């Protein structure tokens, strides 16, 4: 028998650890260090092992997974779990909405609840007297599998409802999914352990939920959003009569809701929501495949009823598929700026993610090996938003007898120099360096690009023509180009020649950061170039910096430091740099600034949404110059969020955390106040 002290301690630890979990996972604001949490968790685990009967039904130890089982038992849903009918375009949606109005015998606008359609697994969770007692998969809609132990490990699902007034029996339904970031981290861990990676977050979520050992489920980054109720009995306080308000009530009891859900007063507003979520799709932290519209008034839902397996009062409006099958016709090898050789798949054109795709990157030899792809294979192509199309997998069942292996070249397809692969690096590189015209072209294209020298009229095609005509072979040669030379090129009018020469002249006035970025040093992107410029302030100091000195710069590790040093140790590069300066390339001196005096010193901010006056990267540079640290995601450490148009989940999270919000106008006013307009 446990004594009273032990009983009290178990109670105390249960309450404390549940609070810490909430602070950590929901509020993003832990109040104790991890070691303290771990110590208390071990103490509770030991006490529960000694006195199993005293384990609370909402014990936080359940979160790390209990005993493994040999099979799932069955759960018969008290109310069937329905699926949704789909529509694929605006007309189909309009006929759905018309049918609703006709059935209800009204021409008045109907209010709809609008929700992103999460691409995970539907799950039913029952709370009895506020305690999570049962969780089940959808199964065939009538009978599902009992996955209670696994669902208890999902961090954002409350084991005990908060607040009061919940019905005795409350069944909530929603989607279990793996957020995109968690998915990438999970696959990285799988790779490290030499285990199979998952094809997409949905598969990973399904595999994780169907683990017989909940300890494995506990290690997977699963999350849950509630989107409806099932059987509700013994209502102590009647639930609201609209779907959206009902969800809000569930939210007040601690159930997680999708922040992007809302309501629309008309079908036009539904269409706007569909377009808006479509635009946000790639920036959302979770995968969706459409949006769901539900008649919001529950009495109207009841009048509309069901057909076969789906409710008449809801519809899923699907986005165009992001994955399709097509044939791999050939593989070409492209040489990049730093000599990297990238295999590019030539595909039978296929409509995917809203555009026709005929090329996809295959990254490198390792990726070709991982996919096991051969010429003539049928492959699954994925194109999500603006992301470069990828080959996801090979459809083995469709493999013809005539497939042939993809031969990686041993010499550069451009200059014939040998191709080398550094040990432990996935990339194969042409060793031709500056003699390789493909590398020359890419280096010049990079130099002229918007974020570097921003030379108007010097696009990829013109650079190719100039290098092929042997008029230039490096970036410094650009500044010696003449109008007659340009006119000598195919289809180059004198007007364009004059314009280009003027643009090149104008580009000579730059900034030190843009100059460093433009050099195209390996692994030195815009942000690193900016940090290098601020740290070293002048070219001489940067050129002669030691590896140790380079590593003192923000975000510069050993690898980047070595690339920078190797760049300036190369005589050909030094010669180009010297000629650039001689040609008149210049930048304003960087003042030595005392960071304490900067107005945003010590402040961390995040930028989200679309800004109309400048790109996010330009805003970032200005904010940094005012002393702010610019982070990628909102957390308890964020001091303010710059929110442009159509800001999504970051804005909701910032609001939840009480982070100050700056709209674009406020940001511009602050810039103007500090002479950054």
The yes or no reply on residue 117 touching ligand 9MJ (CB under 6 A) is yes
Q: In 3D, which of 98, 285, 334, 78 has the Cα closest to residue 177?
A: 285
- The nearest distance, CB 185 to ligand 9MJ, in angstroms, is 23
The Cβ-side half-sphere exposure at 537, using a 13 Å CA radius, reads 5
Binds ligand 9MJ (CB under 6 A): choice among 124, 211, 228, 608: 228
Beta sheet of 131-137, edge-to-edge order: 131-137, 121-128, 169-177, 223-233
Is residue 117 flagged as an active site residue? yes
- The nearest distance, CB 288 to ligand 9MJ, in angstroms, is 7
List the x/- string, 290-319, binding to ligand 9MJ by CB under 6 A: --x---------------------x-----
Q: In 3D, which of 291, 288, 348 has the Cα closest to residue 324?
A: 348
CA 130 vs CA 163, 362, 520: distances in Å: 9, 51, 59
Of the ranges 114-122, 242-250, 382-390, 400-408, which one interacts with ligand 9MJ (CB under 6 A)? 114-122
Site residues for ligand 9MJ, 229-248, by CB under 6 A, read none
The answer to whether 57 touches 131, Cβ cutoff 8 Å, is yes
How is residue 495 annotated by DSSP?
H
- The nearest distance, CB 315 to ligand 9MJ, in angstroms, is 10
Q: Please give the helix or strand (H or E) that residue 125 lies within, else none.
A: strand 121-128
Within 317-423, residue ranges assigned H as helices are 365-371
Binds ligand 9MJ (CB under 6 A): choice among 224, 227, 536, 567: 227
The yes or no reply on residue 441 touching ligand 9MJ (CB under 6 A) is no
Query: Look-up: residue for tokens 């089982």?
Result: 69
Of the ranges 115-123, 143-151, 189-197, 394-402, which one interacts with ligand 9MJ (CB under 6 A)? 115-123
CA 619/CA 349 separation, integer angstroms:
38
The yes or no reply on residue 14 touching ligand 9MJ (CB under 6 A) is no
Of the ranges 113-121, 203-211, 297-305, 330-338, which one interacts with ligand 9MJ (CB under 6 A)? 113-121
- The nearest distance, CB 92 to ligand 9MJ, in angstroms, is 18
- The nearest distance, CB 36 to ligand 9MJ, in angstroms, is 37
Q: Can you read off the two tokens belonging to residue 103?
A: 């059935």
Of the ranges 112-120, 207-215, 327-335, 477-485, which one interacts with ligand 9MJ (CB under 6 A)? 112-120
CA 302/CA 298 separation, integer angstroms:
6
Site residues for ligand 9MJ, 167-206, by CB under 6 A, read 175
Binds ligand 9MJ (CB under 6 A): choice among 17, 41, 47, 84: 84
Catalytic residue among 117, 620, 650, 653: 117
Beta sheet of 604-608, edge-to-edge order: 629-631, 604-608, 640-643, 660-662
CA 244/CA 211 separation, integer angstroms:
33
- The nearest distance, CB 380 to ligand 9MJ, in angstroms, is 22
Q: In 3D, which of 135, 475, 380 has the Cα closest to residue 466?
A: 475
The answer to whether 394 touches 377, Cβ cutoff 8 Å, is yes
Rank residues 318 and 346 by Cβ distance to ligand 9MJ and give the closer one. 318
Rank residues 117 and 441 by Cβ distance to ligand 9MJ and give the closer one. 117
Of the ranges 110-118, 200-208, 550-558, 583-591, which one interacts with ligand 9MJ (CB under 6 A)? 110-118
The yes or no reply on residue 274 touching ligand 9MJ (CB under 6 A) is no
Rank residues 30 and 320 by Cβ distance to ligand 9MJ and give the closer one. 320
- The nearest distance, CB 121 to ligand 9MJ, in angstroms, is 9
Compute the residue count for the chain.
Answer: 677
Rank residues 293 and 662 by Cβ distance to ligand 9MJ and give the closer one. 293
Rank residues 117 and 382 by Cβ distance to ligand 9MJ and give the closer one. 117
Of the ranges 111-119, 153-161, 386-394, 422-430, which one interacts with ligand 9MJ (CB under 6 A)? 111-119
User: Maximum CA pair distance of the chain?
Assistant: 99
Q: Can you read off the two tokens belonging to residue 487?
A: 């006119």
How is residue 308 annotated by DSSP?
T
- The nearest distance, CB 289 to ligand 9MJ, in angstroms, is 8
Within 281-394, residue ranges assigned H as helices are 298-304, 365-371
Rank residues 161 and 314 by Cβ distance to ligand 9MJ and give the closer one. 314
Which residues are bridge partners to 257 per DSSP? 226
- The nearest distance, CB 227 to ligand 9MJ, in angstroms, is 4
The yes or no reply on residue 277 touching ligand 9MJ (CB under 6 A) is no
Q: Can you read off the two tokens belonging to residue 139?
A: 């199964």
The yes or no reply on residue 497 touching ligand 9MJ (CB under 6 A) is no
The yes or no reply on residue 619 touching ligand 9MJ (CB under 6 A) is no
CA 319/CA 450 separation, integer angstroms:
32
The yes or no reply on residue 118 touching ligand 9MJ (CB under 6 A) is yes
The yes or no reply on residue 112 touching ligand 9MJ (CB under 6 A) is no
| Total residues interacting with ligand 9MJ, rule: CB under 6 A | 10
Beta strands per DSSP E along 248-338: 262-264, 288-295, 306-307, 310-311, 314-318, 323-335
Within 570-648, residue ranges assigned H as helices are 571-582, 616-625
- The nearest distance, CB 369 to ligand 9MJ, in angstroms, is 36
Q: State the pairing for strand pair 640-643/604-608.
A: parallel
CA 231 vs CA 80, 171, 315: distances in Å: 10, 5, 21
Binds ligand 9MJ (CB under 6 A): choice among 82, 136, 176, 347: 82
Rank residues 62 and 288 by Cβ distance to ligand 9MJ and give the closer one. 288
Neighbours of 332 (CB within 10 A): 12
How is residue 258 annotated by DSSP?
-
- The nearest distance, CB 117 to ligand 9MJ, in angstroms, is 4
Q: In 3D, which of 591, 590, 623 has the Cα closest to residue 607?
A: 623
Rank residues 121 and 463 by Cβ distance to ligand 9MJ and give the closer one. 121
Binds ligand 9MJ (CB under 6 A): choice among 58, 59, 96, 115: 115
Q: In 3D, which of 366, 284, 365, 362 has the Cα closest to residue 319?
A: 284
Which residues of this chain interact with ligand 9MJ, rule CB under 6 A?
Answer: 82, 84, 115, 117-118, 175, 227-228, 292, 314
Catalytic residues: 117
């Amino acid at each position: 028998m446990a004594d009273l002290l032990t009983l009290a301690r178990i109670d105390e630890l249960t309450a404390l650890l549940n609070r810490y979990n909430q602070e950590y996972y929901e509020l993003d604001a832990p109040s104790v260090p991890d070691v303290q949490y771990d110590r208390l968790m071990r103490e509770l685990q030991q006490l529960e092992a000694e006195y199993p009967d005293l384990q609370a039904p909402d014990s936080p130890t359940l979160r790390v997974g209990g005993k493994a089982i040999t099979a799932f038992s069955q759960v018969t849903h008290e109310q069937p779990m329905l699926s949704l009918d789909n529509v694929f375009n605006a007309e189909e949606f309009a006929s759905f909405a018309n049918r609703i109005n006709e059935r209800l015998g009204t021409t008045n606008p109907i209010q709809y609840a609008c929700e992103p359609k999460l691409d995970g697994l539907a799950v039913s969770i029952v709370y009895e007297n506020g305690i999570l007692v049962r969780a089940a998969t959808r199964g065939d809609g009538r009978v599902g599998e009992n996955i209670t132990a696994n669902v208890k490990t999902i961090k954002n699902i409350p084991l005990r409802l908060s607040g009061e007034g919940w019905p005795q029996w409350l069944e909530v339904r929603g989607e279990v999914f793996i957020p995109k970031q968690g998915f990438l981290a999970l696959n990285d861990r799988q790779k490290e352990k030499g285990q199979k990676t998952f094809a997409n977050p949905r598969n990973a979520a399904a595999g994780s939920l169907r683990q017989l050992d909940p300890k494995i489920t506990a290690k997977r980054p699963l999350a849950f959003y509630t989107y409806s109720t099932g059987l509700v009995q013994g209502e102590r306080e009647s639930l609201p009569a609209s779907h959206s308000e009902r969800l809000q009530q569930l939210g007040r009891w601690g159930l997680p809701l999708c922040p992007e859900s809302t309501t629309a007063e008309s079908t036009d507003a539904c269409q706007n929501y569909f377009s808006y979520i479509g635009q946000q799709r790639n920036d959302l932290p979770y995968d969706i495949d459409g949006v769901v519209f539900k008649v919001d008034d529950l009495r109207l839902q009841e009048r509309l009823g069901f057909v076969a397996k789906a409710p008449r009062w809801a519809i899923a409006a699907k986005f165009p598929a992001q994955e399709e099958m097509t044939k791999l016709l050939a593989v070409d090898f492209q040489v990049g700026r730093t000599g990297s050789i990238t295999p590019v798949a030539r595909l039978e054109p296929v409509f995917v993610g809203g555009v026709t795709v005929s090329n996809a990157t295959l990254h490198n030899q390792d990726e070709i090996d991982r996919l096991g792809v051969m010429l003539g294979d049928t492959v699954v192509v994925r194109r999500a938003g603006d992301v470069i199309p990828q080959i996801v997998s090979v459809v083995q069942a469709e493999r013809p007898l005539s497939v042939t292996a993809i031969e990686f070249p041993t010499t550069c397809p451009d200059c014939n120099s040998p191709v080398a692969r550094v040990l432990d690096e996935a990339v194969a590189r042409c060793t031709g360096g500056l003699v390789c015209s493909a590398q020359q072209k890419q280096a010049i294209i990079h130099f002229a690009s918007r974020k570097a020298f921003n030379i108007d009229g010097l696009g990829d095609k013109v650079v190719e023509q100039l290098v092929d005509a042997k008029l230039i072979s490096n970036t410094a040669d650009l500044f010696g180009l003449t109008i007659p030379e340009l006119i000598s090129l195919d289809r180059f009018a004198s007007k364009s020649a004059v314009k280009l020469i003027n643009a090149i002249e104008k580009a000579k006035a730059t900034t030190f950061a843009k100059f460093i970025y433009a050099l195209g040093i390996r692994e030195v992107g815009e942000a690193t170039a900016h940090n290098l410029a601020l740290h070293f302030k002048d070219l001489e100091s940067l050129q002669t910096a030691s590896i140790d000195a380079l590593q003192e710069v923000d975000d510069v590790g050993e690898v980047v430091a070595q690339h920078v040093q190797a760049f300036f140790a190369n005589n050909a590069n030094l010669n180009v740099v010297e000629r650039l300066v001689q040609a008149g390339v210049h930048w304003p001196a960087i003042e030595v600034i005392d960071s304490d005096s900067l107005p945003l010193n010590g402040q961390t901010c995040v930028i989200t949404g679309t800004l109309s006056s400048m790109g996010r990267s330009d805003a970032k540079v200005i904010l940094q110059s005012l002393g702010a640290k610019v982070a990628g995601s909102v957390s308890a450490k964020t001091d303010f969020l710059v929110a442009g148009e159509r800001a999504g989940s970051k804005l909701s999270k910032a609001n939840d955390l009480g982070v100050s919000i700056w709209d674009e106008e406020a940001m511009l006013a602050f810039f103007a106040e500090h002479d950054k307009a």
